[in-house]
Each structure stands twice: as C-alpha cells, then as structure tokens.
Amino acid sequence: MSRRAARIAAALALMPVAGAAQSTGIRSWCNPVDVDYRYNFEQINTGPSYRSGADPVLVTQGGQYYLFATIAAGYWRSPDLVHWTHVKPSRWPFEDVVAPAVLSVRDTIYLLAARMEPAPVLFTTKPATGKLEFYNRMMPPLPYAASRGDRADIPDDSTPPGPWDPALFHDPDSERWYLYWGSSNTYPLYGIELDKTKRFAYVGRQVQVLRLHPELHGWERFGQDHRDPRTPFTEGAWMTKHGGRYYLQYGAPGTEYNVYANGTYVGDAPLGPFTYAPYNPVAYKPGGFMVGAGHGNTFQDLHGNWWNTGTAWVAVNWNFERRIVLHPAGFDADGDMYADTRFGDFPHWAPTKRWKTSEELFTGWMLLSYRKAATASTALDSFPASNLTDENPRTFWVARANAPGQTATIDLGREYTVRAVQVNFTDYRSNRFGTDSVYPARFRVLGSRDGKRWTTIADLSRETRDRPNAYVELPAARRLRWVRYVHGSVAAPWLAISDIRVFGNGDGAAPATPASLAVKRDTDERNAFVSWSAVPGAVGYNVRWGIAPDKIRQTYQVWADAPTTLEVRALNVGQDYWFAIESFDENGVSKLSRPVKAAR
C-alpha cells in the first residue's frame, strides 16, 4: 500500500458516521485511573518498554487534585478525579521521580523523591503551572537508627541508605513535621522528626516504627495469594491523623502480586509506639481485573470524603509493570480505618458532595462482556481475540498489523443497556522508551443492535492524550448487542489490547443470594476455607468478610466459572471473623447473605 493510500485508509477508518457522539465521561470513572501513563526508561537495551504507574500520592491544592507517581515525568492535575491533565514541571529531580513523598500544607506542595542518598526537597505554590523551586538543596545524611528492641538481628547503628519510599507528615495541631521511610524485607520502617525552621533538618535520631509479622498476619505473607515462603517486603509508609490518633500505613507483602495491600498501625504520637489495628489490611483487592491495592496514600477529597490510593499489578513485560487505583475509604465509629474495594474496577460516580457510605459511589453498571464471544479482523496465533473478554490484563489480543481499520468485535449475546466502555492497551514488543513523550492511541467504538447497522458510540479519533486504559462513559445509554473497536493508530509497533470491557445493565432481575455458605477456620488461624452453592446464570461472586457482622468490608471477587470454594489466607491470628457472600450478573447484585462466623 502506498503512503497516500495508507493516509486515505486511516482517514476513512476514523471518519465519524451518522449518529456519532463525542464521549466525555463527565460523571463516572473506572480503575485503573485513566491517566497518560509514561513509558519506562529502565529497560533500555535489556527488554521491551512499557507504560506503568505506581506508588501514587494524591493531594489537593487550590480546589484541584494533584497526582504524583513513580516515573511520570511530572504529575497530573484534575478538577474532579475524572479528567486528568499532565503537568510538566519546570525542574525535576534526577532522571525521574520514584516513590515520591508529597504533602500539601496550606498553600504549598512539598516533594521528596526516593533516593539511596541525600536528595533535595522541592516545593510549589503554583502546581497548575508546573513551577517547582528548591525548598532545600539537599536533605542531610540519615543519622543512625535508635533501637526499639524489636529486631535483634539489626544492629542499633545499622540503617539502610535512603530515605527510600519516603513520606512527609505535618501535624496540624502541634505544627511539627515528620519523615517516614523504608522498603525492605530485612529492615523495618523508620520515622524521625524534622525541624521546619532549618529546612527539614533532622531532630534527634530515627526510630524503628513498624515491622512485619507474617507469622501473625496472614495477609503479610509473600507471593500470589500469600503462598510464597520467602520473607515479605514492607514499604510505602503514609501517616494520617484522625480523631486525635495517628494511623501509620504501610504496603505489604510485595508489589508484584495480586495481594499487595495497605495496612495500618495506630498510635497516640507521631513516632509511636504503634499498635496493630484489628481491622487489617485496610485496602485489599486480590480478585478481579485490577488486582492489588498497596503502596498509596490516604487523602480527603474536595467534599471531605476519604480515599485510599494504591498500586495494581499488570506484569506483562516485567513483574513491576503496574497501574494506579483509587478506592473510597473512611473511618468507622470505632476508629477502624478501611477502604472499599468491592467492585473496585467497575464504574463509580465521581464525588460531588459528602457521601454517607462509600456504596453510594457504585454506579450499579455491571460487566456485560465477561467471556462473551469476540472476533477480530486479524490476530496473531498466540494472541486470539478471545483474550479480550477474559478479565485478565496479562493476556491480550494482538492484530497481525498495526494498521488503520483493524477491528475487534464483541457479541454480548443479546441486547443490553450499555453505559460505558473501557479499552485497555498492552505494550507488546514495544520500542518506546523515556517518559517525556506522549503517544496517543486513536480509535472509535461502534455499537449495533443487529450486527449490520453500526453507530459510533465513542470517538477518540482526535485524541491528543495517551490513554492506555481509556474509560469512556457514553453521553446517553444505548441499547446494543454488539460492540466494535475500530483502530486508527498507536505509536507502538503492534496493536495489542488486553481487554475491552463493556458496562451497563440487563433487563432481568438480580441473581439469587448464594446458599449454603460455610466457613471453616484452619488450624493455622491465618487461613479459612469458604464454600457456597452455585447460582445459575451468575457471572461471579463477592466473598466478603470482616471483624464483626456489621464490618463485612473485605472482598475477594471470584468468577462463576471457577470452583465455588475459596481459601482466604489473609486473616490475623487471635481475631474473630464473619463471612458473607453475594452473587452478581449482568442485571445486578444479589442481596448479601446472612453473616456466618468462621468456625474454629
């Protein structure tokens, strides 16, 4: 094909058709967060490149949200947690920022990158412009650690270089400042006071504030579903003050698994001593499309609602290929901190007011595309179109050519009311390195009721922002049976998509509540065995548990084509638990079953 013919084909493939509507997604959002993730630079000459985002910190300033993350060539700004604009800063420390400490206090945002040696602190009072200035030219070297007597194998004068995975904290009541840091499967997390009058000079010695106890806390065990005997990692410190108490949060047991989670200890002073909270982990999402919820921060939105950010696991090109997720959070009347990950990768409403419960944010739009028939114009033999509907970001479809007009079509099986579509691109044998350039993917999504007449329901043919996890809410609900992706262009050598996810509702009643729920606590109290009876026509189940019948907040999503049994390996020794279950399908969600106490 000549260059002129190729240009004509591209124009025809993206030309709007009658009934086309520009989708803006102005009301809802869906994990992973729809930002223009940057290409890594770490794998140059050693492997394929990929887009990634991890270790998020989300803060507010001047009525806007600002999102910082690992390897982002800057940060993102949003007025509503839905629409994101990348901000390129006037100066940026080192090659790029990894695991940043970010804190917004009054009219200033402070930034400290994770480093193995002293690093400068930057600040801005005009974050929308990207203007950053030095708050100090260099943090001083870390002093020796002071022993708390809880790790005999770590000498009192031994501490890892850093601060790595740092977190800044300002106590609004005392006006005192603190630094927390650590990322290791040997060393604990540390904390130290800072002298703000001396540009964050250290006050005294650092103390060991937290270490893992996987022998007591099942969720702190390493590996997929906590099945790896290796020593787990603790990292990603964050401090939140609420109700006069200090919640020291941490990520564990490893970012490269489905069980990466945030936990918390609670104390009466910024440097402790801290006590392990009975409700742990705080944020946990081991099942579904976007798994993992660890190493993030806790913040209040512009309406006063609490949120918890985290890092989700993708691992196509490397175990540390990840995305950013966001979950509603809060503190209950007993002071227990929690995050709501139920349907955590389904569409949620953007916050516009103070909510009473986090469940108000769930749109109720169900997944319509799971295991539905998918076809494509072309496909490489090992990467069939069926991968597009398996809800697994580690499997994907690859077209035989990255050419305009390539299509992938999903047959939903019957008509549904379609509300939103999410297109998740994969970096397959990509050759893009560096974080400073944007390579937008351009495409349209068509819909049809009869498979013959097609209407454009989402048009990103003129997109200027890279959206590897493009989520588009339709301006109006559509009655559709078929959904088709029409390719325009991507900058990578190959057109590869892991999942095209279609959301909406069917016309039937919600499924029945699963019967015969049974829970048996293992002799190892960290584990429990759950079983239930299958519900005909169900798409999946949410196995839910908590430390009281009215605190059933943990969720493990299980697909209905898997066995109706689950081993939960995330429990704490000496803690009682209650379990419940619900089923879901394209029509909705069943009533939650009666809570059952885990029998010992």
**For the domain that residue 93 is a member of, what is the CATH number?**
2.115.10.20
Last residue of a domain, one of 456, 479, 505: 505
- 3-class SS string, 266-329: EECCCCCCEEECCCCCCECCCCCCCEEEECCCEEECCCCCEEEEEEEECCCCCCCCEEEEEEEE
**Within this chain, do residues 173 and 313 fall inside the same structural domain, yes or no?**
yes
What is the mean pLDDT of the segment spanning 211-217? 98
d(CA 362, CA 328): 10
What percent of the chain is modeled with pLDDT above 90?
83
The mean pLDDT value for 423-430 works out to 94
Q: Which domain holds residue 175?
A: 31-345
Q: Is residue 238 part of a domain?
A: yes
- What local confidence, expressed as pLDDT, does residue 437 receive? 65
- In 3D, which of 137, 102, 141, 132 has the Cα closest to residue 120? 137
The answer to whether residues 162 and 14 belong to one domain is: no
Mark whether 42 and 107 lie in a shared domain: yes
Q: Are 49 and 316 in contact (CB under 8 A)?
A: no
Domain count, the chain: 3
Looking at residue 10, the DSSP 8-state letter turns out to be H
Whether residue 157 is predicted with pLDDT greater than 70 in this model: the reply is no
Q: Residues 305, 415: one domain?
A: no
* DSSP secondary structure, 449-471, as one string: SSSSS-EEEEE-TT--S--TEEE
pLDDT tens by residue, 22-62: 344 469 999 999 999 998 876 666 777 899 999 999 999 99
Same-domain check for residues 340 and 226: yes
Q: Are residues 293 and 232 in the same domain?
A: yes
The domain boundary, picked from 285, 315, 345, lies at: 345
Residue type, 318: W
pTM comes to: 0.93
Q: Do 55 and 204 lie in a common domain?
A: yes
Residue 429 lies in a domain: yes
Note whether residue 353 is domain-resident. Answer: no
| 240 and 217 both lie in a single domain | yes
Q: How many Cβ atoms sit within 10 Å of the Cβ of residue 417?
A: 16
Give the pLDDT band of residue 599 (cuts 50, 70, 90). confident
- The closest of 509, 512, 513 to 580, measured between CA atoms, is 513
Confirm whether 478 is domain-assigned. Answer: yes
What one-letter code names the amino acid at 24?
T
The single residue listed with the structure tokens 């949620």 is 348
Determine, yes or no, domain membership for 226.
yes
Q: Nearest to residue 387, comparing CAs of 377, 378, 395, 379? A: 395
pLDDT tens-digit map of 193-209: 999 999 999 998 889 99
Residue 195 CA to residue 214 CA, distance in Å, equals 35
> Which residue do the tokens 């695991």 mark?
99
Return the H-helix or E-strand segment holding 419: strand 407-425
- Whole-angstrom Cα distance, residue 376 to residue 477? 25
In a domain, 14, yes or no: yes
Q: Do 18 and 37 belong to one domain? A: no
* Residue 11 DSSP label: H
Any idea what the CATH number is for the domain that residue 539 is in? 2.60.40.10
pLDDT in tens, 430-443: 887 766 667 788 99
**Residue that has been written with the tokens 């005294």 in this structure:** 204
> Tell me: the pLDDT tens digits for 293-340?
999 999 999 999 999 999 999 999 999 999 999 999 999 999 999 999
For 495-523, the pLDDT digits (tens) are: 999 999 999 999 999 999 999 999 999 99
Q: 218 with 313, same domain? A: yes
CATH of the domain at 480: 2.60.120.260
Q: Are residues 486 and 531 located together in one domain of the fold?
A: no
pLDDT score for 24: 47
Amino acid 95: pLDDT: 76
Given 459, 478, 505, the domain boundary residue is: 505
Would 201 be classed as within a structural domain? yes
Above 80 in pLDDT, residue 588?
Answer: yes
The residue among 582, 489, 567 whose CA lies nearest residue 527 is 567
Establish if 350 belongs to a structural domain. no
Chain mean pLDDT for the chain: 92
- Specify the DSSP element, H or E, that contains 9: helix 3-14
Same-domain check for residues 217 and 278: yes
